[in-house]
Amino acid sequence: MAAEQTLILVKPDAVARGLIGEVLSRIERKGYRIEALEMRTLERTVAEEHYAEHVERPFFGELVDFITGGPLVALCVAGEDAVVGMRSIIGATNPIEAAPGSIRGDFATVIGENLVHGSDSAESAKRELGIFFPGRF
C-alpha cells in the first residue's frame, strides 16, 4: 500500500500522566512523520462530531466528557500504511488485550482511559483530520 495519513490523539489521560514524549518518540522511532501537531482542549461540539458514530450508544456522553476534560495533543501522522501501522503501535482498544510493547499494553489499565486514539481506516482518517485540522489535509 501507499503512504497515507492518519489522525492520532494523545488523550487527556496520557497528557496528565506525562506520556506525550513517549507517544511521540514511538511514532518517530517507527519511522512515521509527524506532519501536524497541536495541543488544545477540545470544545464539546468538536468532540461530539468526532464521536458522532457513537451518538446512540450509552457511553457517548462519557466519551465526550472524557475527551473534553483536559488538554490533548492532535497529530497528523504520515507514512507507509500509517493507519494500520499506528494502530499496531497503539495496541488493542481494551488495554487488557493490548500486546506488551504497544502504548496501551505498556501504559493503559482501563478501557475508558486508554491514552491514545488512532483512526481505524483511511476513510475515518480523512474525516477525522478534517475535524481536527480543517482545510489542511
Q: Which domains does the chain have, with CATH numbers?
A: 3-132 (3.30.70.141)
Reported as type and span, the H/E element at residue 48 is helix 44-50
Point out the catalytic residue in the list 11, 117, 118, 129.
Answer: 117
pLDDT tens string 106-132: 999 998 899 999 999 999 999 999 999
With a CB cutoff of 8 Å and minimum separation 6, the contacts of 107 are: 14, 17, 19, 22, 115
Mean pLDDT over 35-61 rounds to 96
- Mean pLDDT for the chain? 96
SS3 33: strand
pLDDT tens string 19-35: 999 999 999 999 999 99
Burial state string for 74-109 with b = 16 or more CB within 10 A and e = fewer than 16: bbbbbbebbbebbbebbbbeebeebeeebbbbbbbe
Quick check: is 117 catalytic?
Answer: yes
The pLDDT-based confidence of 3 (bands split at 50, 70, 90) is confident
Predicted confidence (pLDDT) at residue 1 exceeds the cutoff of 60: no
SS3 22: helix
The pLDDT-based confidence of 2 (bands split at 50, 70, 90) is low
